[in-house]
Structure 1
């Protein structure tokens, strides 16, 4: 994910997320050194990671599957972090590498820092361009417009950006990152602070969404993408594994209906692999779960139950249309999907 797992070596009692090491941008005019170019870049993700899940969703919604190829890592890491053991012979078929760390090394010989996803790799040289998870999706929405599918939604509409940014900052600070601050806290005080901030934000969001379908405006924006990737993992891992247990998502009628609405929207639920999510958190975080036992629950079929959020109005894609079917080679395996009883 975006920081070394468990934040080892920290001398504080609070979890501190590592900053993205590589922050080059890929822009329409190439003004920062890398131009938008179909087929030149490969998006490397773990389906377990909420930060990488953002880029998967945005890539789907905008129809960029043919423009940016996809590499999916094993949900389990070893001492060299993210690895391509899901691919034949344990190597990514495009980049030819066994570990994402090799693309970091290609960018900066001798690099010994954290290796995180999502990462965008330049196929022509095999080096990582960016692991700036906050910027990647915004640039996909605003710089890659020439390669968007017909009917792609505007996920970062200019008139709403100030409000979107304000909402996203609250969501990031207290919920997206807050679950990690609670889960990796090294003192009771640090844990309780993160827990209280998390659920204060939770309550603000629940109230905000009581009478509106989406966080900002009448259609899906980047803010909804960022909130969804935490909510979809909440009951499966954060509630128990990270001790964020004031209540489950499924016990909040507003946020549970909101999350199901998004999950059932093309481009959201079809990117989620619950098997990868549960195995990563419960088997990699051995300081939290030394037995590495993976829970069987929760019941995933509940994600497909009616949500009735359409009654609030709004149009998921604004003036646009839903994305097409998931490419066959990018489908989530049956073990990781929510299916109806």
Structure 2
């Protein structure tokens, strides 16, 4: 019997949409109370990892990191000693969802914010979570933290971010999980129409909106950094590689070399997740050795377009030792967790 395959991909967005806010009687902003659970493989989780680092929220919200692979049941803490998250003392993220709702019926997803006193999930609603880190946790931002969602730019930012989400972030999945040729063809055309638009937009401006990095750049970067290692081949997004888009490739390198972006990227975990977990697309489970990653730290030349990464702010400080990416998984990262330019 042949398994039924959906002709076109539709993302399940039925998340736990509770929020941690300043005035919430249930989930108030409270440093030390919550743990952000991510996987470095997941682009949606990477958004939160980057925003947390850029804003300097490491002391306010702790970080739990799941391994890059999971089964149909849950993400697991297999990177930690004994396979247990050292703070939550649980082997699977599913346990935190079950603590919130026994028999939890929906997907176990990262990123998730977990309440430490009850060891239960508060929210996995990633589209709202990064905005709340910006707006609700501002009392705990580091000195010099950038304004990632400026009020004066929101009228321009919001439609840009919406198009990035629907056409690029989700567009690569629409290609990869298409179950019929017409659905794939349509998804492919939509994706590259959007990438062509971004290539043109970024030809004469350094950042997507304004003259310093914003949340729009964070949300686009997490897809761009996965494009050549995963989406180009695995998801059949193969009209062109990222390195074949002059402006987009230079823009991506500019962001990658900015503290908070490239120093949180784990290329090996990214590849292992997609090529191992998606057994319907890659039944052999073979993880490709490529692509060559040496170009990520080469000069990008974007300084000539003006602007600066952090505007009137400053770069985040050093990454805590326990949160550093393994240099074996990102050749641009040194043992100290700092990005080092290619020779």
| TM-score w.r.t. length of structure 2 | 0.95
Q: Give the Å deviation of 1:142.
A: 0.9
Note the residue ranges of structure 1 that are not aligned, 5 or more in a row: 1-8
Question: Quick check: 1:12 aligned with 2:36?
Answer: no
In structure 2, the residue matched to 1:241 is 234
Matched, 1:88 2:94: no
Q: Aligned partners of 2:87, 2:305: CA distance in 1, in Å? A: 45
Q: Secondary structure at the match of 1:214?
A: coil
Rounded to whole Å, the distance in 1 between the matches of 2:4 and 2:10 is: 8
Counterpart contact for 1:83–1:100, Cα < 8 Å: yes
Aligned twin of 2:33: 40
Q: Tell me the equivalent position of 1:63.
A: 56
Question: Counterpart in 2 of 1:216?
Answer: 209
Mapped to 1, the partners of 2:106 and 2:14 lie a distance apart of 10
Per-residue deviation at 1:21? 2.1
Give the distance between the partners of 1:26 and 1:86, measured in 2 at CA: 27
Structure 1 residue 186: Cα displacement: 0.2
For 2:335, the equivalent position in structure 1 comes to: none
- Structure 2 partner of 1:338: 331
1:145 paired to 2:138: yes
Q: What CA RMSD, in Å, does the superposition of the two structures yield over aligned residues?
A: 1.2
CA distance in 1, matches of 2:6, 2:80: 38
> CA offset at residue 159 of structure 1?
1.1
Distance 1:179 1:235 in 2: 12
- 1:183 aligned residue: 176
| Paired residue secondary structure (1:72) | strand
Would you identify which runs of 4 or more consecutive aligned residues in structure 1 move more than 4 Å?
none
Q: 1:13 Cα deviation (Å)? A: 0.7
CA distance in 1, matches of 2:256, 2:250: 10
Alignment pair present for 1:302 and 2:295: yes
1:134 to 127, 134, 138: 127
Query: CA–CA distance in 2 between the matches of 1:127 and 1:83?
Result: 15
Answer whether contact 2:5 2:179 (CA < 8 A) is retained.
no
Once the two structures are TM-superposed, the CA of residue 231 in structure 1 deviates from its matched residue by 0.2
- Unpaired runs of at least 5, structure 2: 333-341
1:195-274 paired onto structure 2 within 5 Å: 195-274=188-267
**After alignment, is 20-29 or 302-311 more displaced?**
20-29
SS at match of 2:218: helix
Contact 1:304–1:338 (8 Å) recurs in 2: no
1:99-110 equivalence runs, <5 A:
99-110=92-103
Equivalences, count: 332
Residue equivalent to 1:77: 70
* 8 Å Cα contact 1:20/1:131 also seen in 2: no
3-state SS of paired residue (2:197): helix
1: CA distance between counterparts of 2:252 and 2:4?
34
Q: Structure 1 residue 11: deviation in Å?
A: 6.2
2:233 match: secondary structure: helix
Number of the residue aligned with 2:337: none
**1:165 correspondence with 2:158:** yes
On the 8 A contact 1:303/1:338 being kept in 2, the answer is no
